[in-house]
Structure 1
């Protein structure tokens, strides 16, 4: 016999499940926010509908009959399954800021100067930028309520969604004053290891002298031995190495995203004019189902990156089409 779950029958079942779980009409009524008499009446109507007793009413407690216990177990499992599914499907409005973890040098040199446009266009986004470059995985992003991250690396993520939004080009840079003080520096063959400024943490897992070695190799120049490389000055942020270059302390391996404004203003110059495509790129990293606000931020960053790429390619004479 097929029985249709009418609104009345669903209400009877809900009252019966709460009563058997609480072992009391009074406690069930408190949980359901109705009167004790209403709960008792609903259970009685269910028993009349089924034409069998479901509860044994004793002075001390309510005990389900065998049939009542069977129905109570089925109802408990069913309601839990329904509530669990609804919890997963429901879109919860989260008032917390959208936390974006970002590699510090990129945050300071590229992202932060552009954020005003995002806030003016989307004041509701509530973006919170955290500068750090620690390794990412799904568990960490969830536990720290991290909506997204921007990383400069090879994009090798197994349990996260990593989308490349900007490629990067490497180019040695120095201050005009440094070059004026070193007139013998005419080509890569004239580089001295002690004049090199290194970001020794280009990305998580990169070798200590990754960027200088890669540029020298791709430029066809002789690559100094690691021992010779160590004679240079070491920093753990690209921005720090660039700061040293601006101060005339040596030649830094610049990333186009971080040095374009300095090059345009003449505060830094390219002594060799040989940009080399980096092995790493900038990735927008999220969990597999990003929120609408996170997607909005990602779309804005992608558009900003496209505009920047046009400016960069024109200034550096790159053909990346």
Structure 2
């Protein structure tokens, strides 16, 4: 072991002084006298033969060497705190932070969270809409639901479900354009989401699957950046949107939207579940993820491998 680590008590004092840029405030935090802080900093400087603080008028400031050491000490103490957290498991009750893409959050997750709260009223779920792959090991995120094929190291990752992709439209568009065969869709406004997770799930892919020859230069086209924007577009009667089943199934069930054809891109879009198995909140993480899987399973039918009911063909 590095013998310099025996000065960890002095480093604790140095860390407080560096954060506050004040010996007196550091003394208040550590419940010791300002003179004791000054002495400990002096001992540290003498041992390493380097000046860590310099006086700037009536205040103290870090020297270049002091700033370098302060950054390393702060990281080390942060890592220690993280380690302490990991060996202290919190009770089941408490706050749980869950993140998912903005569209999945608003279209699927948030409308169902009342069911979880009804069964587990002592677990408060905070839903965070984000398109990023957050670090569930070193952040306040407990559970992440992510779409796509990206693999994250050092965390638990499993496939939550695989979602088929298919066209949807309003009943009015269905009737006005007489969508009795896939070829007629090419005469509609085509709405397509672009961005993360869309590779292989475009209109070109769907028309190829439907065996429809198309002329891309003829299309009336609109691109959106989220599934939710596309769904809102077709709800207003604007064309046909190619979407993942989980984003629109409730609207299909209610009759607000129609799935005109039983032609869907499969296996479809992969949704993954990620969490840190060493999280201090692992007990409530397990409770939530079990509920999540049960809620997804409740949508399945024996003849539907996609996991979401087909309601219109």
TM category (shorter chain) comes to 0.5 to 0.7
How many residues align? The count is 230
1:306 is matched with 297
Cα–Cα, structure 1 residues 133 and 278, in superposed 2: closer, same or farther, change >3 Å? Answer: farther
> In the alignment, which residue of structure 2 is the partner of 1:188?
182
| Greater C-alpha Rg | 1
Q: Where do 1:112-261 residues align within 5 Å?
A: 112-136=110-134, 140-183=135-178, 185-192=179-186, 195-203=189-197, 206-207=198-199, 210-222=201-213, 225=216, 231-261=220-250
* Distance in 1 of aligned mates of 2:126 and 2:238: 34
* SS in structure 1 of the partner of residue 88 of structure 2: coil
Of Structure 1 and Structure 2, the greater helix share is in 1
TM-score between both structures, scaled by the size of structure 2: 0.63
Q: Which runs of 5+ in 2 are unaligned?
A: 1-5, 11-79
TM-aligned CA deviation for residue 247 of structure 1: 0.8
TM-score under structure 1 normalisation? 0.62
d(CA) in 2 for partners of 1:257, 1:224:
30
Residues 120 and 163 of structure 1: CA distance in aligned 2, closer, same or farther (over 3 Å): same
- Quick check: 1:170–1:211 contact (8 Å CA) kept in 2? no
Contact conserved, 2:165 with 2:268, CA < 8 A, in 1? no
Look up the SS of the partner of 2:160 in the other structure. strand
CA offsets per residue over residues 169-221 of structure 1, 9 Å max, x none?
122111111122223x4322233376111111252xx44x8332332333333
What's the C-alpha RMSD, in Å, of the aligned pairs? Answer: 3.3
Q: Please give the secondary structure, in 1, of the residue aligned with 2:232.
A: helix
Q: What is residue 101 of structure 1 aligned with on the other side?
A: 99
Question: Would you say the 8 A contact 1:174–1:246 is kept in 2?
Answer: yes
- Contact 1:219/1:276 (8 A) holds in 2: no
Q: Which runs of 5+ in 1 are unaligned?
A: 1-17, 23-82
User: Do structure 1's residue 272 and structure 2's residue 267 form an aligned pair?
Assistant: no
- Give me the whole-angstrom Cα distance separating, in 1, the residues matched to 2:262 and 2:86: 54
Tell me the secondary structure at the aligned position of residue 166 of structure 2: strand
C-alpha distance in structure 1 between counterparts of 2:285 and 2:120, whole Å: 12
**Is the CA contact (8 Å cut-off) linking 2:157 and 2:272 kept in structure 1?**
yes
CA contact (8 A) 1:155 1:162 kept: no
